[in-house]
Amino acid sequence: MQAACHLASGLQGESLEEPFSETLRVSENASDSNCYKEIWPLIERPGFLARRLHQIHVSLFAELCATFRMTPLQYSLLSALAVLDEADQTTLARAVALDRTTTTGALKRLESRGLLQRVTSAQDRRAQVCRMTAEGAALLSAMEASARAAHEATVEALNADERATFLELLKRVVSAHAGRRAENLRES
């Protein structure tokens, strides 16, 4: 029977960030030779930090945009439609880097609120073309300042130069992975 890895973390401290910065070590009682001697601290993992920053942003967006009953995803879809004027669901899914199933669900919720219309495409009867309604445009305009405030609050710990550098670095990383489609990235 394979022995389980037992971790002795010695996590102490009161900061929420401190546990993420600790290096976890395998307990002396662990006998499995496949156990790592040292585990990579979460605070050093780009994926963990990206996910944590996303959680922070979603929380700030929910707080600052609560009166509009809009998620960041729905806001992104309406923002994309404001630029595109009209688009099929697949184009919108690509524009906001999401899979079609998630995008379709969000679009249905926006449609049920009267914020956009979905109609069958004249060119392809399988496709749904989306257009923002006047109500959708009015809501998008009304929440612009609150949405911007959520984005600003997300990076408020950085000064103006650091924010510009951070955004450029994020763009570079995202651009380097542009070939990775959202369809293949759905979380379980």
Token duo for residue 141: 């305009």
Q: How many CB atoms lie within 10 A of CB 30?
A: 18
Domains and CATH numbers, the chain: 7-44 (no CATH), 46-184 (1.10.10.10)
The answer to pTM > 0.85 is no
- For 169, residues 6+ apart whose C-beta sits below 8 A from its C-beta are none
Token duo for residue 56: 């922070």
Q: How far apart are CA 22 and CA 36, in angstroms?
A: 15
* pLDDT score of 180: 81
The alpha carbon of 20 is separated from its chain's Cα centroid by a whole number of angstroms, namely: 20
Token duo for residue 156: 């408020």
Q: Which position has the token pair 């890895």? A: 5
Q: Which of 82, 103, 102 is nearest to 91 (CA)?
A: 103
Model confidence pLDDT, tens digit, residues 125-165: 888 899 999 999 999 999 999 999 999 999 999 999 999 99
Q: Which position has the token pair 């960041």? A: 72
Higher per-residue pLDDT: 111 or 14: 111
Provide the pLDDT confidence category of residue 73 given band limits of 50, 70 and 90: very high
What is the DSSP code string of 73-137? HHHHHHHHHHHHSEEEHHHHHHHTT--HHHHHHHHHHHHHTTSEEEEE-SS-TT-EEEEE-HHHH
Mean pLDDT value across the chain? 83
Q: How far apart are CA 103 and CA 121, in angstroms?
A: 17
Residue 4 has pLDDT above 70, yes or no: no
